[in-house]
Amino acid sequence: QVIYVLYLVGLVIGISGLVGIVLAYVNRRKSEAWVETHYTYIIRTFWIGLLYALVSCVLILAFIGMFLLFAVAVWFIARCIIGLQAVGRGEPVRNPQSWLI
């Protein structure tokens, strides 16, 4: 749960997102199988979100990047909330390899 919260706070204070990704990589192999799905999910959320954000920043020159940055933020927040709900229920993430939600 801490990493999901760090990611959400990272939207405002960027360094907490970096702390979250480091914690996810450090703890990934030290956990139970259902918790490991959350680590995989949150690691992929970070890297895919970074990719989407970089593409959106490039597309700002084409005047659609701002809309895409907003969509990336919504996607990122949705993935964090879905993950928080699942970990709160003690359930694994259903499809941690997904690029969508």
Concatenated DSSP letters for 32-53?
Answer: -HHHHHHHHHHHHHHHHHHHHH
In one-letter notation, the amino acid at residue 56 is S
Helix (H, G, I), strand (E, B) or coil at 24: helix
pLDDT tens, 1-46? 899 999 999 999 889 999 999 999 999 888 888 999 999 999 999 9
Q: What is the pLDDT of residue 36?
A: 92
Q: Which percentage of the chain shows pLDDT scores above 90?
A: 75
Mean pLDDT of 77-82: 95
Q: Is 68 left (phi over 0), alpha (psi -120 to 50) or beta?
A: alpha
Q: What is the pLDDT of residue 6?
A: 94
Q: Cα–Cα distance between 63 and 15 in angstroms, integer?
A: 28
